[in-house]
Chains A and B, each alone.
Chain A
């Protein structure tokens, strides 16, 4: 069974400090990993996916298959980064398209 673990419920950082949100997964097949973000009073939206290998809003995430991790990082946190972040996993098999397994979420609070 696939499982996504986000060990931190709340992450409080100062503006300008680095921030790292941890995500570990368990899945026997070939996973596709995502980070979704929900800003206050906004709908859940895709932040980035591992196959894109891009940086969005200064965030990056690297898939480490050896450690089964997909941690989200940003070197300098901004106040507008305050939000709930969800790590999610899906597989490449056709019967799993779109069926994402979400972690419990990490609330990030960036204080000035």
Chain B
């Protein structure tokens, strides 16, 4: 049981380049999330999804887009990378709403992105 898998684990981009981070979960979770982790700021929610075909903005959505075409996958895209997007990105998932476990997140291992 892999849980939450993120690819790639590391990536270096030049300013203006685009890329996509892939998150896959095999726990049949309804909810999926993308967070970024920055020193001194904890984790901040970028975008999230409450089910296949749905997406919504989190706390820091600017400069990112997401898609959830399949229940098990949640993609995070950077259309034109900026140095301010240098961070560690974490994907997470949780069971659906109405379930006390909905707030219990299972995290991926993280993807370290550097934008030069």
Contact = CB atoms under 8 A, between A and B. Distances in A.
A4 B100 CA distance: 21
Contact of A100 (B40, B100, B103): B103
A51 B100 contact: yes
Given A94-B98, A97-B97, A98-B31, A104 B103 contact: no
Nearest to B45: A99
B48 A49 contact: no
Interface of B: 31, 33, 35, 40-45, 48, 50, 58, 90, 92, 94, 96-98, 100, 102-105, 107-110
- Please name the 8 residue pairs, one residue from A and one from B, whose CB atoms are nearest each other, closest first: A102-B42, A97-B97, A97-B102, A102-B43, A44-B107, A104-B42, A98-B94, A90-B103
Given A97-B50, A99-B33, 9 more contacts: A44-B90, A44-B107, A49-B104, A51-B100, A97-B97, A99-B45, A100-B103, A104-B41, A105-B42
B113 to A, nearest CB: 17
Interface of B: prevailing SS: mixed
A25 interface: no
Contact of A32 (B44, B48, B103, B110): B103
A93 B94 CA distance: 16
A56 interface: no
Interface of A: 4, 6, 9, 32, 34, 36, 43-46, 49, 51, 86, 90, 94, 97-100, 102-105
Contacts of B97: 94, 97-98
Contacts of B43: 44, 86, 100, 102
A36 B40 CA distance: 16
Contact of A104 (B31, B40, B94, B100): B40
B105 A100 contact: yes
A6 B40 CA distance: 10
A97 B103 CA distance: 6
